[in-house]
Amino acid sequence: MDFQGKVAIVTGGAKGIGLGAARRFAQGGASVVIVSRGGAADAAELLRDETGNKNVIGVAADVSKSDQAREMVRQAVEAFGAIDILVNSAGVQRYGTVVDTEEDVWDEVMDINVKGMYLTSKNAIPEMRKRGGGAIVNVSSVQAYIALAGSAAYVTSKGAINSLTRAMALDHAPEGIRVNSICPGSIDTPMLRWAADLFKEGDQTQEDVIDSWGRMHPIGRVGTMEECGELIAFLCSDKAGFITGGDYKIDGGLLTAAAVVLPK
């Protein structure tokens, strides 16, 4: 996959799945704009050093704020002249039922995970029209299909992302803009490691928890942000030219297994 001459914006690109996608685009020769509330400049420097691609910049922005989402797109166009690809990877995880989730926490999850995708797309799509098309990938989760107990706000936001993806794909297909989502299982990211620290018990280490979660996937391990980056890159490439409106699981087979196990 060759992204030479393409311009990609990756929100949440300073770490995790977003960084995996930004790295893949930089390796493919794209001009890359890494967007994050913190760490964007450092991530851009890291990728410039790793890949030798000097057309990687960082932009500090909170995509849940309309003025900052608009300014982020403006800076991308000012730097590289256009936008071809948008990866909406910015997101947060918070735990709680609807009873014990405070309203401000609910709003935080919805604002970043869903409203942020709306705002970045609202501002990026007009620039894609000027190019005659483009590709958008929204990072969702297997929790768009299933729910973990005590994750009401997060689960709701991920279901909304898949619905938003379908709506955007339908609305913008006539303009040559394709929109898909990826739905990861457990991926080794800073967010997963934060959760592992939160839920470890007794003398368990972070690695113990992550290994135990990995064994819940039929493949027997958690995924990597680079594997997610490859799927995102494919969906944004010309090879995926007939693919839009889809949600693609990258979950190590997690959703293939029924919870009920038959006796031997």
104 and 215 assigned to the same domain: no
**According to the model, what pLDDT value does residue 99 have?**
98
Of 95, 145, 154, 248, the active-site residue reads 154
154 and 217 assigned to the same domain: no
210 and 129 assigned to the same domain: no
pLDDT averaged over 10-residue windows placed end to end, the chain, 264 residues? 92 97 98 97 98 98 98 98 98 96 98 98 98 98 96 98 98 98 94 88 91 92 96 97 98 91 84
**145 included as an active-site residue:** no
**According to the model, what pLDDT value does residue 142 have?**
97
> Whole domain around residue 206: which residue ranges?
186-222
Name the domain count of the chain: 2
68 and 156 assigned to the same domain: yes
CA distances from 187 to 106, 142, 158, 192, 226 (A): 23, 11, 16, 7, 10
**According to the model, what pLDDT value does residue 29 have?**
97
Calpha distance 141→254 (Å, rounded) = 12
**According to the model, what pLDDT value does residue 30 have?**
98
In a domain, 263, yes or no: no
> In sequence order, which residues have a C-beta less than 8 Å from that of residue 112 and are 6 or more positions away?
63, 64, 90, 91, 92
**According to the model, what pLDDT value does residue 257 have?**
87
Calpha distance 147→99 (Å, rounded) = 16
Q: Whole-prediction pTM value?
A: 0.95
**According to the model, what pLDDT value does residue 1 have?**
57
Residue 236 contacts residue 137 (beta carbons within 8 Å): yes
197 and 100 assigned to the same domain: no
**According to the model, what pLDDT value does residue 192 have?**
87
